[in-house]
Amino acid sequence: MKRDPVVIIVVAMVVSMMLVYGIHKARQGSGPTSENSSSLQGKMAPDFTLTSLDGKTVRLSDYRGKAVLLNFWATWCEPCKIEMPWFVEMQKEYGAQGLQILGVAMDDASPKDISDFAKQMGVNYPIVVGKDSVGDAYGGVQFLPATFYVGRDGKVVDKVFGLKGRGEIQDYIKKALASGPVSQAKN
């Protein structure tokens, strides 16, 4: 009888993985694939217009001249909860050098719930409410977190799906800060 809990856990994990795969395939449909996100590297990042948690209109192009860490996340995403405090620290550390972190909440939660979560996490960078069409423009955000590093010139420098170590994130930030003309950076 000691195996029963183990069997239940294994079955639950398999069912969960099947559900995640099924949802992933349903969302993917005939839309963009991760190959599309690979093809973004070196190209202009797709511009978008989304609403921030404080009701302001935010466009990616508003940040031209800055390096942008564009992070797709959700309140239920455990790896997102790990990296968000790092992003808070990195916004403080690299903001004066021209970095802007921008969070895109790909969540079914209400803007109030997302805002409460962001406050609880101490987020010091703008959060916008995402739309599937924006995720699709970035090749389909199939896994969270998904992070795109955009250079000062507006071109995608790199992309990362899933959680990376703090040092790796800093390396990507430095690469984005070094790309494009520094003289265009806004303060």
CB-neighbour burial class of residue 36 (10 A; exposed 0-12, middle 13-18, buried 19+): middle
Q: What is the CATH number of domain 33-184?
A: 3.40.30.10
Residue that the structure tokens 């294994």 belong to: 10
Mean pLDDT, the chain, rounded, equals 83
Distance of alpha carbon 165 from alpha carbon 127, whole angstroms? 22
What is the Cα–Cα distance from 86 to 163, expressed in whole angstroms?
11
Can you tell me the distance from the alpha carbon of 49 to that of 149, in angstroms, rounded to the nearest whole number?
Answer: 18
Q: Are 117 and 107 in contact (CB under 8 A)?
A: no
Min mean pLDDT across 6-15, 99-108, 141-150, 164-173 is at 6-15
**90-144 pLDDT tens trace:** 999 999 999 999 999 998 889 999 999 999 999 999 999 999 999 999 988 888 9
Q: pLDDT at position 183, please? A: 47
pTM of the entire predicted model: 0.76
Give domain limits for the chain: 1-30, 33-184
Q: Please determine, for residue 172, whether its predicted confidence score (pLDDT) is greater than 90.
A: yes
Q: What is the pLDDT of residue 6?
A: 65
The Cα–Cα gap between 142 and 146 comes to 8
